Structure 1
């Protein structure tokens, strides 16, 4: 993704937030640390405890790793911008950030669809589920979202990088994103806008519809279960995923439905890129009975070993 010969801008200035920078730095740093530690905790806990070596927790681990990568694309640069006078990011650095941020975002969209497919299969075909969801199948399903992300984001990223940036180089955002870059271009961004809009349908709408479809069928199947205990158990395996998916798509829709260039755009994006990934680890731990039991068992083991 090299700069075109006609472009004269070699770097961009991320305006980020002009007020309350120290306070924002502290808040963003704390949430970033919490997100990294929370998701790392989930990955380690699942890895060390054999009772959590199931397809559902394998996908949760992959999602936790994706959350760390997704947050790490824009936040370190934002933290630097908040406490230093240097707000610059190179042309190549800007589009590298743009590419990987969107790759991880698209991968999360499709991984959420994979996770609900896993729950759908577990509820719909409980007897065949262990043989279908073997290690090979799990790895393949977890790899597909990454592949989709790396492929579908490439074309709009290349098209956008070939726009002419020959006037202002000030991005009214805290990271490089499609809208601010397209508005900054002094050439016609129509092709870039078309490519990002069309891929957004495939990136967001398609997995969202898949999730809705799977959950409708899950509700139909669970409604046929006669015992209340069976219904509660079936729904409990999906509750955490429903909350995470609702937060992820809810904040994303708010950000991208919001009129481009709005003065609230950066604050809405901050919710989408910082707050939501920080909340997710707590949803998967405090709302998950298996994880809570493993955590309690691990703590008791540590206390016992320290007393010996």
Structure 2
């Protein structure tokens, strides 16, 4: 607390640049092909997650605690995709790597906010599976739509506060040397390290946010240890497989969202990756999961597939009836 007060009480002249230069993708060979791939990811992520939102909204049988979590995950995926990829595409379409100071802070907030909600959604879905398998008789007493909505409301507010506070600390930093950000978006880490004045509070918040981020897969791992213990008590293999099948989609989502980021982080620390490799790996680790998440749920969730098949059958019957008339 003393560090916080000391830093805030310093009487210094704050220099805010008019704009920042996002230079992370400028030195990558054949970057045009990468931008085309990003555009493909963007279109599929937006369409796929929009369909998931529409299906859950229209099908009353999906108005359950589990699908409230899936709904929030799809919202977070759309938000993160729109916060991240269009700014990257701007460089390709308009040959502009510049972003204004305020737009940079807004970009930073929305990327980190929706990424946090994505992690929260996966943790809450893990909690849902934990209660369903470990405490099946008490599931409906513990988990219901009202509880799920309340949990997500609290997490949305806490996430917004944490990210907003982290971003607001950037306004207390002075940038008198360089305005070039070595990343593919207005990344907090490269930005606060460019500051001329004391950035210790921003550094602390960066470490805190990293700890919170990596606490998510750890929490999910611990929940699945408990699930495995509960499954071991089921006497028949058929019962174990049936219970485990309800977790497949969630496990795939967790793997898609966390494994690439964790592997990239470990490789960057242990193998000293070149800047180009690190930026490509990290950008893909953030951009690809929102595209894959709706595909995973459509292909692995019987309720969603049944709804799609019902809609297709009704549409086919309607077309056939129109033709016969």
TM-score using structure 2 length: 0.87
Alpha-carbon distance between aligned partners in 2 of 1:279 and 1:206, rounded to the nearest angstrom:
23
> Where does residue 227 of structure 1 map in the other structure?
236
Paired position in structure 2 for 1:60: 70
SS of residue paired to 1:13: strand
| 2:264 paired with 1:264 | no
Aligned twin of 1:167? 177
Rounded to whole Å, the distance in 1 between the matches of 2:110 and 2:264 is 18
| 1:5 Cα deviation after fit | 4.7
SS in 2 for 1:176: coil
Output the CA distance in 2 between the equivalents of 1:24 and 1:199: 29
Q: Deviations over 1:280-299 (max 9, x none)?
A: 11111112222222222221
Distance in 2 (alpha carbons) for counterparts of 1:143 and 1:32? 27
- Is the CA contact 1:106–1:148 (under 8 Å) kept in the aligned structure 2? no
1:176–1:143 Cα change, 3 Å: same
- Which residue does the alignment assign to 1:115? 125
Whether the aligned pair in 2 keeps the contact of 1:104 and 1:146 (CA below 8 Å) is no
**How does 1:145-224 map onto structure 2 within 5 Å?**
145-201=155-211, 203-224=212-233
- Matching residue of 1:134: 144
CA distance in 2, matches of 1:155, 1:58: 27
The residue that corresponds to 2:298 in the other structure is: 285
Q: CA RMSD in A?
A: 2.0
Task: After TM superposition, list the pairs within 5 Å mapping 1:23-38 onto structure 2.
Answer: 23-38=33-48
Provide the rounded CA distance (Å) in 1 between the counterparts of 2:311 and 2:153: 30
1:27-54: CA deviations, max 9, x gaps? 1111101001111111111222233222
Aligned to 2:6: none
Q: Which moved more, 1:255-264 or 1:296-305?
A: 255-264
Residues 202-247 of structure 1 show CA distances to partners (whole Å, capped at 9, x for unaligned) of x223332221221111111111111222211111111111111122
SS in 2 for 1:184: coil
- Once residues 126 and 262 of structure 2 are traced to their aligned partners in structure 1, the CA distance between those partners, rounded to angstroms, is 20
Q: In structure 2, the residue corresponding to 1:89 is in which secondary structure?
A: strand
- Is the Cα–Cα contact under 8 Å of residues 20 and 104 in structure 2 kept in the other structure? yes
| Aligned twin of 1:300 | 313
Which residue is equivalent to 2:23? 15
Determine the C-alpha separation between the residues in 1 that align with 2:235 and 2:264: 42
Cα distance in 2 between the residues matched to 1:66 and 1:100 = 10
Shift of 1:91: 0.7
1:241 equivalent to 2:250? Answer yes
**Aligned mates of 1:195, 1:145 — CA distance in 2:** 18
Unmatched segments (≥5 aa) in structure 1: none
Unaligned ranges ≥5, structure 2? 1-11
Q: Any conservation in 1 of the 2:24–2:276 contact (CA below 8 Å)?
A: no
Per-residue deviation at 1:172?
A: 1.8
- Under a length normalisation based on structure 1, what TM-score does the superposition of the two structures give? 0.91
Q: Are 1:39 and 1:65, in contact at CA under 8 Å, matched by a contact in 2?
A: yes
Q: Distance in 2 between matches of 1:200 and 1:160?
A: 17
Q: Does 1:250 align with 2:259?
A: yes
Range with greater deviation from structure 2 (185-194 or 79-88): 185-194
Larger Rg belongs to: 2
Distance 2:223 2:245 in 1: 16
- Is the Cα contact below 8 Å between 1:98 and 1:157 reproduced in 2? yes
